Copies of this chain bind each other. A is one copy, B any other.
Amino acid sequence: MESGMFKEERNGWSGYVEWKEYPKKKEAATEVLTKLGANKPPEFQFNGTPTSNTMMEGRRWKVMHTALGFPFSAMPSTSWNVIRAEKASEMRHVLEFPYNGEPLPDKLAESEITPNRHHYVRNHGGIPSIDPNAFELEVNGLVNQARRFTLQELQNEAFFPQRTVAITMQCSGNRRSEALSWNPGEGDELTSTPWEQGAISTAKWTGISLKKIIKVCCGFNPGAKHVEFFGADTYIKHNVPQNYTVSIPITKVQSNEVLLCWKMNDESLPKSHGFPLRAMVLGYIGARSCKWLYKIRALEAPSESPIQRKEYLHYGGQIGKHNGSFSDGIPLQEMPVSSAIMSPRLRDIVLHEGKIHVSGWAYSGGGRWPERVEVSPDGGCSWFAVPASNLTRKYRHAWRLWNLELPVQKEAWVELRCRCFDNAVNTQPADISEVWNWCGHLINSQHRVTIYSVNKGTEAARRGLESMSLQGVPLAPITAPSKLQANPERESCLFAERDPDN
């Protein structure tokens, strides 16, 4: 196979190769990829996921991209360079290529609006680089008049009023690592990215309503039901390359809940987030908010794309790869209510005087919002509500950050939990077993964080900590055997007293 046969499509559009319009080309690429033979995903679920920033490499994706020749062969390195330029080095880089990364908990809980450098990124392929002056958006299918728009036309306020909206975006796989640590599921490092609780972020997005664009196309044809988005990136599924393609119901467009955006927190859209144009579908899973958006097509049914019909499906808890069919899955669009504790973190040693400062996020999809957040200091027996003043403001399409001083009675290991009730009074199931599903989507059970609680206000702890401090014996790691020297006089006296014949 000749290198370079899968050429870039247009001048000024690096990394964009069109597949849908060229079935022959698609077949040729599939042949190349199939000939590669066994190219199994590394088994990270049984072997354990790497810890923070010992990221997974995405080797099999690199091999496939190399096999397809230029421009694909260059993408692993160009994409990584974009990430290094645009993203904070202290992100939790989960997968190098295609890039997947989430902010660290501290950063995430720091402000209602996530800085661009920390906003989570979920890519399915390489990052295209598109000259905004060469960019065009095509709108066709079941609209009364197919149209093409330059970026200048879309950004002309005389045609299209602009809106800036605070939007929380969340990957449907957020919190997947909680499911996997209970029991493994599909073990592909890309399609089943082992996110912690950070595949969620909030930004102020600026753009125009897709409804207005459809109006300029003289409206939908009768029979139009879904709107399909095409991204310029290439995603390889079962050796078949395709442009990233998803769809959403037109009712979402009609209710003004779909934006086309070119600004993120008042800055130009970063390349890793879809420059020069992306969709933002409010209240839906992140996967529908197509990046590097270059074509929109109105359809009479959901997209036939495998991303729409074979992925992002929610299976029942007794469906695995041996007994499931795609149509058993619920196609994911809106998201359920969820929340997570950002501080303290799992296995922290927390010194306190009866109260522990706990903080985190709470979110619900589909335009619903958190109404009440509760935190339990005793594994779900009692629950303390976060005071209204300790929750950030309500938005229709964004999370609320929260914090509270949680009374903790127990010393030793304590399981903290949080849960949210949204405005429809839906809440989170208690246990991971209630929400576990084969592909690990929409994990929203109560988030549990076990910490070691030390109440330094008690007489015993005060005395012990004082001795440790005097003798220079550290408390951490908590499991390391104590090197504390006893007070010989006191201890021998107390031991003697234990004797009943004393």
Chain B residues lying within 8 Å of A423, measured Cβ to Cβ, are: 330, 333-334
With A316-B372, A427-B336 known to touch, is A421 a contact of B383 (CB < 8 Å)?
Answer: no
Chain B residues lying within 8 Å of A334, measured Cβ to Cβ, are: 368, 423-425
With A371-B330, A385-B316 known to touch, is A427 a contact of B421 (CB < 8 Å)?
Answer: no
- Asked if A382 CB lies within 8 Å of chain B CBs, one says yes
Chain B residues lying within 8 Å of A382, measured Cβ to Cβ, are: 318
- Asked if A62 CB lies within 8 Å of chain B CBs, one says no
Once bound together, how far apart are the Cα atoms of A426 and B427, in whole Å?
8
Is there contact, CB below 8 Å, between A421 and B384? no
List which A313-342 residues lie within 8 A (CB) of chain B. Answer: 314, 316-318, 328, 330, 332-337
The smallest C-beta distance from A406 to any residue of chain B, in angstroms, reads 13
- Asked if A86 CB lies within 8 Å of chain B CBs, one says no
Residue among A333, A425, A442 with most chain B CB within 10 A = A425
- Asked if A232 CB lies within 8 Å of chain B CBs, one says no
Is there contact, CB below 8 Å, between B318 and A384? yes
- Asked if A366 CB lies within 8 Å of chain B CBs, one says yes
Specify how many copies of this chain sit in the oligomer. 2
With A330-B371, A330-B372, A429-B430 known to touch, is A424 a contact of B318 (CB < 8 Å)?
Answer: no
The smallest C-beta distance from A90 to any residue of chain B, in angstroms, reads 32
Is there contact, CB below 8 Å, between A366 and B424? yes
- Asked if A431 CB lies within 8 Å of chain B CBs, one says yes
Is there contact, CB below 8 Å, between A421 and B255? no
List which A375-432 residues lie within 8 A (CB) of chain B. Answer: 382-385, 421, 423-431
The smallest C-beta distance from A401 to any residue of chain B, in angstroms, reads 19
Is there contact, CB below 8 Å, between A430 and B424? no
- Asked if A434 CB lies within 8 Å of chain B CBs, one says yes
Is there contact, CB below 8 Å, between B330 and A425? yes
Once bound together, how far apart are the Cα atoms of A333 and B426, in whole Å?
12
Contact partner of A383 (CB less than 8 A), chosen from B318, B330, B444, is B318
List which A241-265 residues lie within 8 A (CB) of chain B. Answer: 255
> Which positions in A face B, CB cutoff 8 Å?
255, 314, 316-318, 328, 330, 332-337, 365-366, 368, 371-372, 374, 382-385, 421, 423-431, 434-435, 441-442, 444
Given contacts A255-B255, A316-B374, list 4 more A-B pairs with CB under 8 A.
A330-B421, A332-B425, A366-B424, A424-B426
